[in-house]
Structure formats: C-alpha cells, structure tokens
C-alpha cells in the first residue's frame, strides 16, 4: 500500500471509475489510489501494455481493474470503451478525464500538430463526458467528473500558447458542465497541476531544439513557494477527494495543486 492508504481506504467502495491516460505518471497514481479506495477501475491508455500492467498491479494488490487500450484522439474508440462499461456495470461513478499532451510550442504550428493537441486535450474530454453521461446519471448522487487542466489553464504560458488554450478550454468546459449537471446530482471539477515529477515535465520544457531543459525547469522551480515539483501521488490524493463523497458540496472548482505557484 502507498503512503496515506490507511487514511484514504474504502472511500470509493463499490464504485466504478474510468481514467484516461492511466498507464503512467499522474494517471497511474490515480488508478492505484482509486483502487485502494475500493473502486473498480477501468485503466485506459494509448499503450495497451501499460494499461494492462497497471491493472495487473491493482489486482495483485487485492483490487479490481481492467486494462484497456484507448486512443483518446479516436472518438469512436471512446464511445466503444464507455459502451463496455455500460454493458458490464450499467453505471459510472467517476469519469476522470486525465489525458493530455504538451503540444507544440510557439505559434508556428502545422495543422496536424494543432489537431493532435486539441483532439487529445479538449475533444477527448468533451466526448468522453458526452458518451458517459447516461451512465453517470445512473449513479446520480454519487457521480463525479474530474478533468485534468493545468496552472497553464488558469494563467498564460509563454512556452506554449496552444497548451494554455486547450487547458483553459477545459476549465470553462468544466464550469459550464457544473452548472448544467449539478441539478442532476453530478459534480464536475478540474485539477490544475503545477510542475509534477513525471515523464511529461521534461517533455513540456524541452520542446524547442537546443533548449537547456534542466535550466528551464530550475528557473520555473524558483517560482514555486514549496521549492520542489509535485509528486503524482499528490495529484491522486486531490483526485480521490473530488471523486469521493468527502467533496459532496464541491462542484465547478478548478483546484490548483501547484506548490503555491499561483499564490504569487
């Protein structure tokens, strides 16, 4: 069991959760934490091997999970996975739209780069939510949608206007859905991570050729009051709170988990 398990165990007992991009990093941490809390977790990822590995890890620890290949840029694939959840369980308690990529830097961006970033970061979350809505309604009163945005969705990013645009779009999507779905008993929130110690961190800072990635990361860290990057498990803890009944009066919130970056 991971640190904090004793305090977080069984908050999601008997509930069904689906997480996108759960094969590594923050998504993996969320899948493990949700399973520890009692949920049956659909671990989806563009890497089928990674998804199945995380699901196996959950099962080996005494939980229940399915590892499924899912390319979130493929709208039909999203529909198919959610249809499977419906056939197997008839409801969905937690939809955690976590998938995201850094996207291309700057403004000189080709159509394919633009489409990939918007498809993965925004379109996938929009349609996953649309397809999952009937199943979430079946869990009304115990239904939570969680989006992964970013601090760059709340303030501008000089490194990537495209990334900021997509993550800002997630925040306004979340707020709109919170207003629409609240009367149906479905809560909707977003997590806005700051720099997290995962494979995506050097990818985000190292997109420009010739970039001194380590120097850029160090410069960014100088603006973090807590003086360090976050850990994937710290994002998972925030996600568990938003997924569970402990946040039963929380909806429409873009929650920074950023070591104080936005406090400045």
Catalytic residue positions, numbered:
163
Q: Alpha-carbon distance 29 to 232, whole Å?
A: 6
CA-based max dimension of the chain: 51
With 0-12 / 13-18 / 19 or more C-beta atoms within 10 angstroms meaning exposed / middle / buried, residue 75 is middle
Element (H, E) at 35: helix 25-36
The encoded tokens of residue 157 equal 């990013």
Q: Alpha-carbon distance 173 to 127, whole Å?
A: 12
Residues ≥6 apart with Cβ < 8 Å to 4: 233, 237
Provide the 8-state DSSP code for 224: -
**Phi and psi angles of residue 65, each rounded to the nearest 5 degrees, phi first:** -165, 160
Query: Residue 103: which of 51, 147, 165, 148 has the closest Cα?
Result: 165
Q: Alpha-carbon distance 27 to 236, whole Å?
A: 8
Query: Residue 119: which of 71, 176, 57 has the closest Cα?
Result: 71
Q: Alpha-carbon distance 263 to 99, whole Å?
A: 26
* Residues forming a β-bridge with 252: none
Question: End-to-end distance of the chain based on CA atoms, in angstroms?
Answer: 35
Q: Alpha-carbon distance 22 to 45, whole Å?
A: 6
């Amino acid at each position: 069991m991971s640190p904090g398990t004793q305090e977080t165990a069984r908050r999601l007992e008997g509930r069904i959760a689906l997480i996108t991009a759960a094969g590594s990093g923050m998504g993996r941490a969320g899948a493990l934490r949700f399973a520890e809390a009692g949920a049956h977790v659909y671990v989806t990822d563009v890497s089928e091997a990674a998804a199945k590995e995380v699901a196996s890890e959950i099962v080996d620890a005494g939980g229940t999970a399915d590892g499924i290949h899912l390319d979130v840029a493929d709208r039909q694939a999203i529909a198919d996975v959610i249809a499977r959840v419906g056939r197997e369980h008839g409801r969905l308690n937690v939809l955690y739209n976590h998938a995201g990529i850094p996207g291309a830097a700057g403004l000189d961006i080709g159509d394919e780069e633009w489409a990939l970033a918007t498809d993965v970061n925004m379109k996938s979350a929009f349609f996953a939510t649309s397809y999952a809505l009937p199943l979430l309604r079946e869990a009304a009163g115990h239904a939570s949608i969680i989006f992964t945005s970013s601090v760059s969705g709340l303030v501008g990013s000089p490194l990537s206007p495209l990334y900021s645009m997509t993550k800002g779009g997630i925040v306004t999507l979340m707020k709109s859905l919170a207003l629409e779905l609240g009367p149906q008993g479905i809560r909707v929130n977003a997590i806005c991570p700051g720099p997290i110690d995962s494979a995506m961190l050097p990818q985000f800072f190292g997109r420009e050729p010739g970039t001194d990635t380590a120097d850029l990361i160090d410069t960014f860290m100088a603006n973090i009051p807590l003086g360090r990057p976050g850990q994937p498990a710290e994002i998972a803890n925030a996600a568990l709170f938003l997924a569970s009944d402990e946040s039963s009066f929380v909806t429409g919130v873009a929650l920074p988990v950023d070591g104080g970056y936005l406090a400045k």
